Amino acid sequence: MAQLDAVATLRRVPFFAVLREEELKSLAAHCGVRHVAKDEFLFAEGEPCEGLLVVQAGAIKLFKMAENGREQVLVIERAGSTVAELPLFDGGTFPATAAAVEGLAHPLHDQPG
């Protein structure tokens, strides 16, 4: 599977779109690509946040599980969307669980370190 262009992906995110090309390239140098299959979990509610996720392609659903086992979908994020902004900025844990709903979700994420 071909890797998508990290700079082009970041440019699609509204709060990165204002950055100059050099700044986008610098930011992209700190990113990695993770390929996920349909129904694969990216993170679970309560886990520590390891970075901002940017959806390159496909779709990711954020959901919570009720005590009776029913899934409540909060939102489906598609290409150009970010996931995990809140815990990134407040230092908390993921408030919901995320899983790929299409087999071509490629969350681009900032590598820790």
Element (H, E) at 30: none
Domain-wise residue ranges, the chain = 6-110
Q: Given this model, what pLDDT does residue 5 score? A: 83
Residue pLDDT, tens place only, 99-109: 999 765 455 55
Nearest CA-CA partner of 4 in 45, 33, 24: 33
Q: Given this model, what pLDDT does residue 71 score? A: 92
Cα–Cα distances (Å) from 49 to 24, 41, 61, 78, in that order, read: 22, 14, 17, 20
Encode the chain (113 residues) as per-residue pLDDT tens digits. 345 688 888 898 988 989 999 999 999 888 888 888 899 999 999 999 888 888 888 899 999 998 898 999 999 999 889 888 888 888 889 999 999 997 654 555 555 44
Q: Given this model, what pLDDT does residue 96 score? A: 94
Superfamily for the 6-110 domain: Jelly Rolls (2.60.120.10)
Q: Given this model, what pLDDT does residue 2 score? A: 43
What's the CA gap between 92 and 42, in Å, rounded? 17
Q: Given this model, what pLDDT does residue 51 score? A: 83
What pTM, to 2 d.p., does this model score? 0.77
